[in-house]
Amino acid sequence: MADVGWWVVPVAVLGGALRVSTPFLFVSLGECITERSGRINLGLEGILVMGAMCAYGTSYLTGSPWLGVLAAGAAGALLGLVHATVCGLPRVNDIAVGIALMLFGTGLAFYLGKPLIEPSAKILPAIDFGWWSDVPQVRAALQINVLFLIGVALAPMLVWALATTRWGMILRTVGESADAARAMGYSVNGVRARATMLGGFLGGIGGSFLSLYYPGSWNEGLSSGQGITAVALVIFARWNPMLCFWASLLFGGAAALGPALQSIGVNQGYYLFNAAPYILTLVIMILTCSPKRTLIGAPAELSITK
């Protein structure tokens, strides 16, 4: 095998971007929808973990990873419903509910998932996009999972849906001004509930990717804050689904940077490389926010902007 040089790093980062970004992609797209309706769901971390567990368990019990993906989505939607119901009560703070859901979802997933750590479930297949290359590294990097492709298609679809469809308009109205939406006869809580459930559905699917493709097994350390990071991602992607897509790729690549650098001999400070995605988020947020122009494009009803 040819000796690999430094170029293995960009290839690994690309591969990482394609692999690791998918959970970020789904969770951020889901949260985008939720936040556009004027509600913030920090419980996505719990939904992600719960989705991962359900997917793995279902795949193990039924032998079909795709059923697992659906089960994960259903679990996510259910938890989203819990979030929406509690938040729908007057005087309830949606940030606090999100944190509560994070605890509950994670705890429930660990509790139910105990028997799933040992067995091996069937995982999702990948499509080989690198068939044109005979360099193994490139081929490996371009092994793309179907979920990623779905996510890639979903992003522009959401942009279009939000801008042109009636559903999108209702969603945005509820997010910009609850009073206006009520005046038009829409149930604000109902729309938000549906948006949160849809967000939970996508978040659960993002979790299923973790357990059914990459890293491809279930254990209690599976998520390292991806759910929370995805929420931050939505904010600096300005609630624009296409920007969420690019930001997810950036994050995925940043996560792969550390190990890739080590493999070519750059060994210093690998903890700081591990923290790269978080530092990146913070820096980008500092650079792009400003107290006067803060959160342009933010749904006006979102509690964090008020």
Partner 1 sequence: MKADVRPRTHDKSKWLPLPYPSGEGKGGGLRLAGAAEYVVIPSLALVAALAAFGIFVALFGKDSAALYLYMYQGAFGTWFSWQNTLSRAAPLILTALCTALPAQLGLVIIGGEGAFLVGALAATSAALALSSAPPVVVQLAMALAGMAAGGVWIAFSGALQHYRGVNETISSLLLVYIALAVLNQLVEGPMRDPSSLNKPSTHEIGAANMIGTIPGLDVHWGLAFGIIAAVLAYILIFQTVFGFAARVAGGNVRAAKVVGLGVGRLILITCFLAGAAAGLAGMVEVAAVQGRTNANLAAGYGFTGILVSFLASHNPLAIIPVAVLLGGINASGGLLQRRLGLPDASVLVLQGMIFLSVLGSETLYGRFAIFRRGG
Partner 2 sequence: MTSQISRRHVLQGTAAGAAMLPVRMAFAADTVVGFIYVGSRDDYGYNQAHAVGAAALKKMPGIKVVEEEKVPETEAVEKSMESMINLDGTTLLFPTSYGYFSPHVLKTANKYPKVRFEHAGGLWTDKDPKNVGSYFGYIDEAQHVAGIVAGATSKTGKLGFVAAKPIPQLLRNVNAFMLGAKLANPNATLQVIFTGDWSMPVKEAEATNSLIDAGVDVVTCHVDGPKTVMENAARRGAMISSYHVNAAPLAPEAHLTGAEWNWEVLYPRFVKMFTSGENIPNFYRGGLKEELVKVAPYGPKVSEAARKQADDIKAKLAAGNYVIFKGPLKDNKGNVVIAAGVERPQTDPELEKMNYLLEGVIGATS
Q: Which residues bind partner 1 (CB under 8 A)?
A: 42, 46, 82, 86, 89-97, 99-111, 114, 225, 228, 231-232, 235, 238, 269, 271-272, 274-275, 278-279, 281-282, 285-286, 289-298, 300, 303-304, 306
Angle, alpha carbons 41-208-112 (nearest 5°): 85
Of 101 and 250, the one with the shorter C-beta distance to partner 1 is 101
Alpha-carbon 49 to chain mean position: 11
Which entry of partner 2, partner 1, none binds 86, CB below 5 to 8 A by partner kind?
partner 1
In the complex, the smallest distance separating the C-beta of residue 141 from partner 2, rounded to whole angstroms, is 8
Q: How far is CA 91 from CA 87, 100, 105, 306, in A?
A: 8, 16, 23, 15
Residues 71-100 that bind partner 2 (CB under 8 A): none
Beta bridge mates, 145: 126
What are φ and ψ of residue 150, in 5° steps? -60, -45
Contacted entry of partner 2, partner 1, none for residue 78, CB cut-off 5 to 8 Å set by kind: none
Give CA–CA dist 288/14, Å, rounded.
25
Nearest distance, CB of residue 60 and partner 2, angstroms: 13
Sign of the alpha-carbon dihedral angle for 238, 240, 242, 244: positive
Contact flags string 181-220 toward partner 2, x per CB under 8 A: -----------------------------x---xxxx-xx
Q: Which does 132 bind (CB under 5 to 8 A by kind): partner 1, partner 2, none?
A: none
Q: What is the CB neighbour count within 10 angstroms for residue 197?
A: 22
Residue type at 69 in one-letter notation = V
CB of residue 196 vs partner 2: minimum separation in angstroms? Answer: 26
